[in-house]
Structure 1
Amino acid sequence: MKQTPADDLAKTALPPAPGADRYRSLDFADTTATLPAGHSYDLLAVPASAMRWLAVHDLTTPDIQLYDVCTRRMRALRVHVRALFTARVEGTAPPAESLGAVNDALIAVPTAPLLAWDGTQGPRRVQAHPTDQAVGHALATLAADAADLLTGPDGGLLAVCGSAPCDRFLLRTHGRRHWCSTRCGDRARAARAYARRSGNAT
């Protein structure tokens, strides 16, 4: 499968899928996608693109620098979030290692602002966000978001794009057919029209 170069990601990447505006974990799962003609992309492939994704989703600050080890951690959690989403869509038991990985991310660092005190400002809430824990905080936030999606009322709306080979997730908004983007919907309709013309419609 041909991976899209990092410089071309902005042009190649599909727009956010339905539901990504409500669940950052959904957009996180969709940072990788399979495209037609054996192509794919990965928005977490290199530190620069991963940093852009985190910044757009308010999960890091501009002074944070990512390294390869950080992107590897992000991609590892993404594998497990996608496995949990797939199990939810298919109505099967999720892999134990994926449950464990998400739970580990949840408890690794505090995500709630902590209570602090100083002589000038008195009591205040502060986000514990040292540089060396920035990615841990981001992953904990994404893990919590994924858990909320899976256990909440929107979990039943979770679906995989119905336009092969796309493998992105979305929340169904209406009807039986569901596509993650207009591009995938157009491709699915074109495929059905071709099948009808060629007499191969099912």
Structure 2
Amino acid sequence: MKEVPRADAVQPVLPPAPGADRHPALDFADSAATVPGGQGYDLLAAPGDARRWLLAHDLIAPDVRLYEPCAQRARTLRGHVRALFAARVEGRVAPPESLRAVNDALTRVPTAPLLTWDADNGPRRVQLHPIDQAVDHALATLAADAADLLTGPDADLLAACGAAPCDRFLLRTHGRRHWCSTRCGDRVRAARAYARRTGA
């Protein structure tokens, strides 16, 4: 299979949202977004972009090469994770296809270390990451973290950024904060101040 030419790196215009340091799935969901000012970005837009993102999050080894079908699988799973996060934030039932996609990612790879046995070392447990399954392992890790976030103690902290049109997710770590970044918070406060001044 021919590798798609490497795309120029797409840089986000905002820093990682609160909680992304604790949950890589949150940063995964926010790897594509529409942000204030009508700007948008997609950090998985091309195989080179997806490879850089996965490397930066220690989800693949440096020798792993990604092709367009792999990048497409990552983008597809991201869409499903975003749909599940949105359903949780909005208090709706999750889309069945998104649940199936996350569960499929979770079950594609063994979760327990396998038993190996050789003459020099005898029996031992190892976590195998064959090069041809590297993307499966990366997506399983992200799916597991998304499931942990949705079912764990941080689930009630999950929120959508309140600065339209920004569509990033965050964990409310400071009281009632509903903005994914200082930039989004400043825009909301400025709009409120303007509305008060003009009586709008």
Deviation at 1:133, TM superposition (A): 0.9
| CA 170–75 in structure 1, closer or farther in 2 if over 3 Å, else same | same
- Aligned partner of 2:110 in structure 1 is 110
CA distance in 2, matches of 1:113, 1:148: 20
Residue identity opposite 2:81 in structure 1 = V
TM-score of the superposed pair, with normalisation by structure 1: 0.90
Q: 1:125 to 1:58 in 2, by over 3 A?
A: farther
Aligned equivalents of 2:70, 2:105: Cα separation in 1? 13
- Where does residue 159 of structure 2 map in the other structure? 159
- Tell me the SS of whatever aligns to 2:116: strand
Does the CA contact (< 8 Å) of 1:111 and 1:137 recur in 2? Answer: no
Seen in structure 2, the aligned counterparts of structure 1 residues 87 and 119 have a Cα distance that, compared at 3 Å, is same
- In angstroms, what is the RMSD of aligned CA positions? 1.4
Normalised to the residue count of structure 2, the TM-score between the two structures is 0.91
Which runs of 5 or more residues in structure 1 are unaligned? 1-5
Letter aligned with residue 120 of structure 2: T
Give CA-to-partner distance per residue, 1:112-160, whole Å, 9 cap, x none. Answer: 3323222222333322211211111111111111111101111011000
- 1:97-176 → structure 2 map (5 Å cutoff): 97-176=97-176
Conserved? CA contact 2:64–2:134, under 8 Å: yes
Paired AA for residue 123 in structure 1: P
Cross-structure match for 1:68: 68
Q: Could you tell me how far 1:32 is from its partner in structure 2?
A: 0.5
- Equivalent-residue separation in structure 2 for 1:119 and 1:188 (angstroms): 65
Name the CA distance, whole Å, in 2 between partners of 1:57 and 1:125.
Answer: 25
Q: 1:22 to 1:114 in 2, by over 3 A?
A: same
Amino acid at match of 2:10: L
Instruction: Kindly report structure 1 stretches of 4+ aligned residues shifted beyond 4 Å.
Output: none
Q: Please say if residues 8 and 49 of structure 2, whose CA atoms lie closer than 8 Å, have aligned partners that are also in contact.
A: no
Give the corresponding residue for 2:3. none
> Superposed, which structure 2 residues align to 1:29-40 within 5 Å?
29-40=29-40
